[in-house]
Amino acid sequence: MTTRLDDTHDPALMSWVETANDPATDFPIQNLPIGMFRRTGSHEAFRPGVAIGDQIVDLSAARQAGALPADVASALNACEPGQLNAFMAQGRAVRVALRRALSQGLKRGSAQQALLSSCLVPQAQAEYALPCRIDGYTDFYTGIHHATAVGKLFRPDNPLLPNYKWVPIGYHGRTSSIAVSGQAFRRPLGQLKPPTADTPVLGPSKRLDYELELGVFVGAGNALGEPIAIEQAEDHAFGLVLLNDWSARDVQAWEYQPLGPFLAKNFATTISPWIVTMEALEPFRSAWTRAEGDPQPLPYLDSAETRERGAIDITLEVWLQTPKMRENGQEPQRLMQSNYRDAYWTVGQMIAHHSINGCNLQSGDLLGSGTQSGPADDQGGSLLELTCGGSKPVRLVNGETRTFLEDGDTVVLRARCERPGFRSIGFSDCLGTVLPAPEAPRR
């Protein structure tokens, strides 16, 4: 299998930041995800940082201290305040240079320990912002188990539409309502039409749901009119985050035909704060295959490298904490677990298809993977699946039940990569809370 493993992935590599050596941490020295932070409650400008153990390397401070290579420092210096876009646009080489410099500087015995230790900020003292300016957001539908389960609710005999296995389906979403983990949003209002009613009414969604997804941030873009070839597509991916594509199912059912999602999807989207780079994910690549009998992708979506290493082994989970759980001091309860290796389309295929018509992707653009469910009934990545459309409530350990989300509910998405012979890495939590709906406007 083609690989880009190097000494930064060495499982024996240890850090002088001792919390990074804890096997349970999401952020060992082999991870080094990138985000935007500042000290909690301060009026400081948000600035770029890299997570290591329970600490953050302040990249602005490291740059000023002379702890970064000149090309990396220059790329970071070009960034506008609070935005990583200019750094992301530099492409893979600069990102790899930053990873290597920090790996060398943070490892045990490094001569740069004294220099970099002065650039650390505890994560417990930090708050986060979106890592970059997001000018474009496209949500795909690559989770075949989700597509099949939802399709069966409406078309039991023909759950997948004819184009699904040929085209990476997607739609353009709203960027202004994307927020970082910790987002609290109001239950959306929308038009609702009960099956027995003749006319719709305006009201708060009664079937509010989450969707477990991954988000792909674009690094270097492409020129308008110049498609990205599948062989180079992943070089245009900067890294991955967790993404919750909140959905008002009752609003969606009434409005989505014929043009697809609108108000049912654009009121909130939550992402985790740290971008796990494509380099950190390298040890967890695996072969990508098509099931026997399924059509093979068209040539512009197929390559030897896609076949060899297009899938990524990422365990995904959804956890729920109700207001009653919080009041009683109970931790969130895990509702399901699935794996991103089951996605029907790869990161590279999403990028290649998105640009095949000449669409110009830009640094900071966000691509959603679509809901990542597993093949079993208890692996649904949404309540719509877990409750069979609301007909079979989920029973929680404290005796409560849920068919869809209630006011005050907090949903937490989690993810981790594990493979024998390598250090496990994780994604930070992606957390969002439902607030009561606003009052409907009156005449």
Active site residues: 146
- What are the φ/ψ torsions at residue 329 (nearest 5 degrees)? 70, 20
For residue 210, count other CB atoms closer than 10 A to its CB.
27
Give the separation between CA 238 and CA 317, rounded to whole angstroms.
23
Q: Residue 264 burial by CB count (10 A; 0-12/13-18/19+): exposed, middle or buried?
A: buried
Between CA 392 and CA 136 the distance in angstroms is 37
Q: Is 115 helix (H, G, I), strand (E, B) or coil?
A: helix
For residue 281, which of 1, 5, 47, 2 has the smallest C-alpha distance? 5
Say whether 139 counts as a known binding-site residue. yes
User: Would you say 419 is a known binding-site residue?
Assistant: no
CB atoms near residue 208 (< 10 Å):
24
- Residue 9 φ/ψ, nearest 5 degrees: -95, 0
- Coarse DSSP helix, strand, coil percentages of the chain, rounded to the nearest 5 percent: 25, 25, 50
To the question of whether residue 245 is assigned a binding role by annotation, the answer is: yes
141 is in an annotated binding site: yes
Whole-number Å distance between alpha carbons of 172 and 140:
9
Classified as helix, coil or strand, 287 is: coil
Opening angle at CA 181, ends 180 and 183, nearest 5: 80
Cα gap 310→37, rounded to integer Å: 31
Burial (CB < 10 A; 0-12, 13-18, 19+), residue 365, is buried
- Residue 265, annotated as binding a ligand: yes
Residue 109 tokens read as 């015995």
Residue 252 marked as a ligand binder: yes
Q: Which residues are known binding-site members for Ca(2+)?
A: 139, 211, 213, 245
Q: Which residues are known binding-site members for Mg(2+)?
A: 245, 265, 269
Q: Which residues are known binding-site members?
A: 139, 141, 155, 211, 213, 245, 252, 256, 265, 269, 371
